[in-house]
Amino acid sequence: MNIDFHKKFLKSYPKLDIKIRKKFDEKLEIFGKNPFDVCLNNHRLKGKYKVYRSIDVTGDWRAWYKEVNDTVIFVVVNTHINLYK
């Protein structure tokens, strides 16, 4: 499995609080070893977001990704409420 990042993700990531970036990096390392580790709460989204899957970064922060062939592309990381506006 290859992991990549959408340009939207790469643009927003440096603007995140350092604590959130560190937590995402920790979760990404876990994801790379086991995408369905229970601590990630990895799940498919529904409705208009059904092309994405979500993992927990913190209690309120989520990272969305989509799978394209053998590549996982992280698209966005944000708070739960901002993602579902």
Tokens encoding 58: 């913190």
Q: pLDDT band at residue 70, thresholds of 50, 70 and 90?
A: very high
Domains of the chain: 2-83 (3.30.2310.20)
Percent of the chain at pLDDT > 90 equals 96
Neighbours of 3 (CB within 10 A): 13
Tokens encoding 62: 């989520």
Model pLDDT for residues 38-47, shown as the tens digit of each residue: 999 999 999 9
| Segment (H or E) for 21 | helix 18-33
Model pLDDT for residues 18-60, shown as the tens digit of each residue: 999 999 999 999 999 999 999 999 999 999 999 999 999 999 9
Confidence (pTM): 0.94
Collapsing DSSP to helix, strand or coil, 46 comes out as coil
Tokens encoding 48: 């208009």
Q: pLDDT band at residue 1, thresholds of 50, 70 and 90?
A: confident
Instruction: For the sheet with 53-56, list strands across it.
Output: 2-5, 71-79, 61-68, 53-56, 43-44
